[in-house]
Structure 1
């Protein structure tokens, strides 16, 4: 029987995933007992154990249950303290036609740098805009462990990168960058130049990144782990003005010196706030956090505007 390390969550947890995608992954495997765990699409916080059986893929709901001060995981009529113990149990016991044998193989996930990152901690991995990195582990929402092309491993802030996919044509396919990455300016869409760092990938966003483009604001590397993990709400000052697209009704217009009370930091780089009663979003690259900020006593020669932000096999369920 194959063995696997149940403590290596990254090997068997596939995160948000549709039932169809999970089925396709597992049906490509010939062996019974190949499995993966994905998020439930119908009940937030629950999971689904997907297993390759003889001629099909079975989906078993794992309910996350709060009992007093303890969290338990239920599959059928069995209760477990954590997912690792649940998986261990079913390596020794049959689900339908097979026990669990090994996790399904994961396709290497790559990201590409949207901005230069110098790093501020010994565990950080510095990289440049346009550099391709391979994701090893998604430790937190805002920080992932990656490997660069030289084999060095370290942690990076997620807003500094965007997800890429392999492109067999050895060319970067033109796709738009998300609104969080173009710094309020549309990047050049010309195919006249392609950086070698960008070959073999297609970015899952809205505009192709070109390493020679000078339109995009080059990020100040002052953003630190403490910033992304900062307790919110917190004050931040606008360091770069921004006039959003007229058709984007949810984007905020920013002026240098505005002081923003940030309440939500999204991993796509778009943070949320409210300006003069209007709720909206803005790029994290345009602001910097202020410790112990008191907008009223600020001594800058600008008028500061305070922004407040305000049965065991349950195939039929999934």
Structure 2
């Protein structure tokens, strides 16, 4: 069924010659998700091997200074950075997944299916192994270049961004790069291989506030650009022929959105490691909560993605204490059955 561009529940707010459509239901759902994320963030900051009270958390937030006491070091160097990074990275991956699924018109599309994750891991591994003194600030830049290069090759071979051909070629590229990563692992000594595998599992243990600031600086303009393209993308959901008749050219919009999703995915993988399934699960869960155009899907997926990764980090850090499991492993434990359910539903619908 083709989506409607204007639903009866939408309210139009006009500012001069401009107008914005707002959905009360979507706004309510977004506020509830934001509230849940806030409560989970407070829980994450207070719980751990050394519990902190709400008063201590409030004191640390309002009296920021160079860490000197144990509580200050615990709060500013461990709990706050990893919780903030979890929210940012989860939100970015959720938004990238929503963009990829709407652009390819495939509910199974995930940014990691195009080989972006593996290409980013390969670049980061090379930097860690051969350029250990290189500043971590270079990782996102090199990762985004690698991700765009791989995506460009996939788009060139697939001759576009829509249809199953794009996804299948991306999966093939992903497998090829994954095999190359396996070859590298087998040639390393066990200590180096363990270090790389831990990073690839999606651990947030080494998160810093400087990394969070870098992610925000890079991700914000990309997300803003994707939000700006949502109106044209919503029209594209009506079909290429209809969109063209309405003055929207599909190819430039699709390329712009795919490039934006690639940059967001590469940025996240280069900073927190390989975390899959967030981009797959978040848009599907969002559609269950919020209905509407691409802007609602993008914002809702970002909130759901942030909630999923923050929850996964809390579970991995607290449920198996004193052992800490990487958040990427917890997400994979949820994402595997989720993918199976999606495939099963598709198979039953075709019968």
Instruction: With the length of structure 2 as denominator, give the TM-score of the two structures.
Output: 0.24
Higher RCO (C-alpha under 8 Å, 6+ residues apart): 2
Query: Based on CA coordinates, which of the two structures has the bigger radius of gyration?
Result: 1
More helix by share: 2
More strand by share: 1
